[in-house]
Amino acid sequence: MTIEKGVFMCLMFILLSNPLASGADVLKVASFSTLLTEIAQKVGGNHVNVAGLVKPGQDPHEYQPTPDDLKQAADAKLILLSGKHIEHYLDKIQQATGGKGESLSVGDALPNLKMKADPDEPQEKAAADANGMIDDPHWWNSVANVEKATTVVRDALIKLDPANRADYESRAKAYLTKLEALDQWAKRKVAELPRDKRKLVTSHDAFQYLAKDYGFKVYAIEGVSTETEPSDRHIAELIDQIKKQQVKAIFLESTLNPKVTVEITRETGAKIGGTLYADGLGEGDGSTYDGMIRHNIETIVDALK
Ligand SMILES: [Zn+2]
């Protein structure tokens, strides 16, 4: 790089960087959820500097914080956690931060659905109740939940930075208006599908919250985790169900190996309906929450019609 080009790049960097975001009075936020990263950025605007530690496309079930991630969490005034027991590394965060900064487990403030714990996963087994059930962590697949999460994040920012209350309130309101429009669009799109065709077969049980909002019944190939392979017996049962329910299409997920799914389609004649974003934001359409929901709903409805 020439000196001129170097100076130019530096100037561009200064111009493009938000002057507020590098200032001392900006609120540092560390987020362990791609959805909460988006919400914090939308609601916080120039008043916050959000470190998104779980990256788009990363599997939040398998994510482990790096030393640098933990350092960023320790530097943050507000730590946003997805909650519902998905962060099985809370002890590491606690250790790194020493309890400094406010930890907010956003999902824990939202309505809860239960799902079967995977007995092969020690973390899940430990968290399970007497009936072997755990909290379903995939709250972000409900737009109504994301609306509620937005108000939780808004209130946390106001509490830590009351001087900018009016800004947080108006930014949250604008984002909530968009979410409400998204929910209305999703309802209209799902209405194209007769109730008896609202059967969702996906490669891990991540869509209970979406199913509840829009009247689908879920048949999952795996349990909550993406780490374990489904048993032969579970696959056989599922093949049986798909045939019996005359399900037209099943869906893959962007973070999963499609091998088992392909096997099931071969046995049942159901087609692959497409790839869904199950575990948060990703690449392409799913790089924003609006895009992610539109992609998922459109893919499901169009394949089952
Ligand atoms: Zn998941």
Q: Tell me if 9 is assigned to some domain.
A: no
> Which pLDDT score is estimated for 41?
98
Backbone angles phi, psi at 60, to 5 degrees: -70, -20
**CA–centroid distance, residue 207 to ligand 1 (Å):** 9
Tell me the CA–centroid distance for residue 162 and ligand 1, in Å.
35
Instruction: In whole angstroms, give the CA distance from residue 135 to residue 156.
Output: 23
Query: Do both 156 and 198 map to the same domain?
Result: no
Going from the Cα of 61 to the center of ligand 1, the distance in angstroms, rounded, reads 6
CA of residue 122 to ligand 1 center, whole Å: 17
Whether 173 and 202 map to the same domain: the answer is no
Dist CA 154 CA 118 (whole Å): 34
Supply the pLDDT for residue 7.
52
Using the mean position of ligand 1's atoms as its centre, give its distance from the Cα of residue 225 in Å. Answer: 6
Task: Please check whether residues 82 and 131 belong to one and the same domain.
Answer: yes
Check whether residue 120 and residue 64 sit in a common domain.
yes
| Dihedral, 147, 128, 219, 199 alpha carbons, nearest 10 | -30
Residue 8 in any domain: the answer is: no
Beta strands in 125-173 (DSSP E): 133-135
Among 183, 209, 229, where does a domain finish? Answer: 183
Q: Which domain holds residue 270?
A: 194-304
How many Å lie between the centroid of ligand 1 and the Cα of residue 232?
21
Let me know if residue 10 belongs to a domain. no
* Domain membership flag for residue 225: yes
Nearest-angstrom CA–CA distance, 300 and 305: 9
Measure 98 CA to ligand 1 centroid, in angstroms.
29
**What CATH number does residue 298 fall under?**
3.40.50.1980
Last residue of a domain, one of 128, 159, 183: 183
The pLDDT value given to residue 14: 47
Going from the Cα of 182 to the center of ligand 1, the distance in angstroms, rounded, reads: 22
Q: Is 122 inside any structural domain?
A: yes
Mean per-residue pLDDT pooled into runs of 10, the chain (305 residues): 53 48 77 98 98 96 96 97 95 92 96 84 83 93 98 98 98 98 98 94 86 92 58 80 88 68 86 91 97 97 94
- Residues 62-120 have pLDDT tens digits of 999 999 999 999 999 999 999 999 999 999 999 999 988 899 999 999 999 998 887 77
- Classify residue 157 by burial, with Cβ atoms within 10 Å: 0-12, 13-18, 19+: buried
Q: Ligand 1: distance of its center to the CA of 158 in Å?
A: 31
Give the total number of structural domains in the chain.
2
Do 179 and 249 reside in the same domain of the chain? no
The Å distance, Cα 60 to ligand 1 centre, comes to 7
Domain boundary residue, one of 183, 207, 225: 183
